[in-house]
Structure 1
Amino acid sequence: MNVAVRDLFAAPTVAGLTKRMSLSSVQDALDVLLPIRAEGTRPPFFCVHPAGGLGWCYMPLAHSVPDDIPLYGLQARGLDGAGGLAGSVREMAADYVAQLRTVQETGPYHLLGWSFGATVAHEMAVQLREAGEEVAALVVLDAFPPVAKPEDGDADADGAAREPEPDAEAEPERDRKPTSTASSRSSAGRPATSSGPHRKRSTGPWPACSTTTA
């Protein structure tokens, strides 16, 4: 397919070029569900688009994936100018789950996501599992899991861990008065421990806690 330079200047967007050229093949190439290879006897792989929204980047997979595995691309809505973009990853994933069910009603499902598409594919897998479906494969390419944010109260605004709060029941060391030199010091020169129950403080960046030992 050839595109004249004047057409690019007149319609610099994919949606504009689609309307200007009026080609049904181009219109189909912007559908949410893009058939890359519809034939095959095994469960298909559904490939979620990266940040650009197009699934055309998965076309070369048809040369590497076995012939009996169908391949479909999932593309963002709004590329053809007919609809708006999804409001969230969860909304986008729900839309794509509905799309893949038109091809495969039940699992096991095979999902693939590249870059941003990996986040959407993961959310699709979560929604499918919640619906009782089997997800046999979730392939993640060039993506990392999100970093968990600290819970309220676990860290300060700068991310530093809070120090353990002082134990209100424990008497400060400086206020304790030894009854005698022999009873306040052990043979190793360390503070002697009482024979009754006492509290042991936890250390580290975790919330303060205490345990009672005999």
Structure 2
Amino acid sequence: MLPNLLYRYLRQRLPSYMIPNAYICLKKLPISINGKIDLEALPPPSRNHYLPLQYVAPKTPIEKKLVEIWRELLQIKKIGIYDNFFELGGHSLLAMKLHDKIESNCNKNILIIDIYKNPRLIDLANLIEISPNIKLHSALLPIILADEAVPKMFLIHPVSGVASSYLQLANVMNSSISSLYGIHNPRFSELDNNFKSIEEMASAYIEIIKSVQMNGSYIIGGWSFGGIVAYEIVKQMEMQGDKIDKLLLIDAYNISSIDSEALCNHIDQSNNNFIINKIATEDERKLRLQTNLNNKLALKYRPNLKIKCEQVHLLKALTPETDAIFQPTEYPYNAWEDYIEKSKLNITYIYAKHNDLFSEKNVKEVAAFLEKSLNEKEKDSLYTKN
């Protein structure tokens, strides 16, 4: 009885995403030798510790529409208004599909982060009811929407083609200093009609960026592969006469200056391992195919022109991956020195692995890097080692 009372008490005081799903009654809390609660000694919840939720059918038109969408995405027949999207099997890719279907079926615009903050159907339905009827480009992932007076930041997707990695920034970045948009590949599911080059991709992404910001000073960046595309976007926009305020490279390497044969072998081996381990879902298959395609585009790409952008900020990961084909210290400027003047590079170091930058333990440092870059004013030399 106590867990039910506690659950009802918390529901009146906390947003749904902060309410625990399981409750364990302990005689006392385990204490470490330092006098603090020993989290590792806490018992893991078993099936009996989760509260059984009573099924309540949808009533409003929005609730009924959401049930239809959830049934299609999750392949579950019986869904009630108190069910949780992620507890039923939802994940980041399905959250993106849910976001798109809400836009197309309900003619409403919400942030994808709102799905994470309102995972229960009833809470999401209530949010949709009061959301505006505004439609953005389907490839835009609005993560933070700040006041119109502050700058807009655009982050290009990594090699997967999906920008959902950036969603965690919404929880840790100062939402008053910049709006933040992720850009994912609008042709993600059209593998036969995908981009044939980084240049073609960048040209299409410029149109997406300008659907939100027609002019002014632009802030563009990306993680890994996204940084390569961001560089090409900056190059093309400068040729068109646009002003780029900042280029943000989140551990992005100019791989055209790195041993391409070793990279090709590494990518092929990675793909072979994935095939050997079997592909569990259609979404995973698409992710792998998109990753493979983008890796090939990156290997073919040649920057071929220095950019004029006065502020280039590079976040450099110093901990090598287990199967890395080179050490981060081999390329102190991530191989960009032929295309970006060293005097314009502001380098910030992070002791983390490249693939872990947007994990829970590192995302705060990434957010701090972005905030610091936003606040940086132009000066004679921006090359610093932090």
TM-score normalised to structure 1 length: 0.55
Aligned to 1:190: none
Over residues 87-122 of structure 1, what are the superposed CA-to-partner deviations in whole Å (9 max), with x where a residue is unaligned?
110010011111111111113100111011110000
Aligned position for 2:142: 35
Pairwise CA distance, 1:26: 8.8
Partner of 1:93: 202
Within-5 A mapping of 1:110-121:
110-121=219-230
Question: Which amino acid letter does the alignment assign opposite residue 67 of structure 1?
Answer: S
TM-aligned CA distance change 1:26 to 1:34, over 3 Å: farther
Out of 241, 247, 253, which is 1:132 matched to?
241
Matched, 1:74 2:183: yes
1:49 and 2:127 matched: no
Aligned to 1:102: 211
How far apart are residue 123 of structure 1 and its match? 0.3
Kindly report which structure 2 residues correspond to 1:164-203, keeping only aligned pairs within 5 A, or say none: none
Cα separation, 2, equivalents of 1:83 and 1:31 = 19
Correspondence 1:84 to 2:162? no
- Residues in 2 aligned to 1:37 and 1:99: alpha-carbon distance in whole angstroms: 17
Three-state SS of the structure 2 residue aligned to 1:23 is: helix
Give the Cα–Cα distance (whole angstroms) in 1 for the partners of residues 160 and 213 of structure 2: 26
Cα distance between partner residues in 2 of 1:115 and 1:26: 31
Q: Assess if the C-alpha contact under 8 Å between 1:93 and 1:121 holds in 2.
A: yes
Q: What does residue 23 of structure 1 align with?
A: 101
Partner of 1:161: none
Deviations 1:159-203 (A, max 9, x none): xxxxxxxxxxxxxxxxxxxxxxxxxxxxxxxxxxxxxxxxxxxxx
Q: Distance in 2 between matches of 1:140 and 1:103?
A: 21
Kindly indicate whether the alpha-carbon contact (under 8 Å) linking 2:145 and 2:175 is maintained by their aligned counterparts in 1: no
CA contact (8 A) 1:118 1:143 kept: yes
C-alpha spacing 1:81/1:119, structure 2 compared with 1 (3 Å): same
Structure number with greater Rg is 1
Structure 1 regions of 5+ residues with no counterpart? 8-13, 150-214
Report the Cα distance in structure 1 between the residues aligned to 2:140 and 2:187, rounded to whole angstroms: 13
How far does residue 18 in structure 1 lie from its aligned partner after superposition? 5.1
- 1:143–1:18 distance in 2 versus 1, CA, 3 Å: closer
Task: Show the counterpart of 2:171.
Answer: 63
TM-align CA RMSD: 3.5
Structure 2 alignment gaps of length 5 or more: 1-69, 78-92, 113-136, 259-386
2: CA distance between counterparts of 1:98 and 1:147? Answer: 26
CA separation in 2, counterparts of 1:136 and 1:38? 19
| C-alpha distance in 2 between matches for 1:47 and 1:110 | 9
- The 1-side partners of 2:97 and 2:242 are apart by 37
Q: Does the 8 Å CA contact 1:77/1:83 hold for their aligned counterparts?
A: no
SS in 1 for 2:141: strand
**Cα–Cα, structure 1 residues 31 and 84, in superposed 2: closer, same or farther, change >3 Å?**
farther
Query: Which protein is richer in helix relative to its size?
Result: 2
SS of match in other structure, 2:255: coil
Q: For 2:168, what is the secondary structure of its paired residue?
A: helix
Matched position secondary structure for 2:230: helix
Q: How many residues are matched?
A: 141
Q: Distance in 1 between matches of 2:192 and 2:153?
A: 25
Cα pair 1:18 1:80 within 8 Å, conserved:
no
Contact 1:34 1:72 in 2 (8 A): yes
The structure whose RCO (Cα within 8 Å, separation 6+) is larger is 1
Q: Displacement of 1:31 after TM fit?
A: 2.3
Change (3 A) 1:83 1:45: farther
Scaled by the length of structure 2, the TM-score of the pair is 0.32
8 Å contact kept, 1:47–1:112: yes
Which SS does the other structure have where 1:92 is aligned? helix
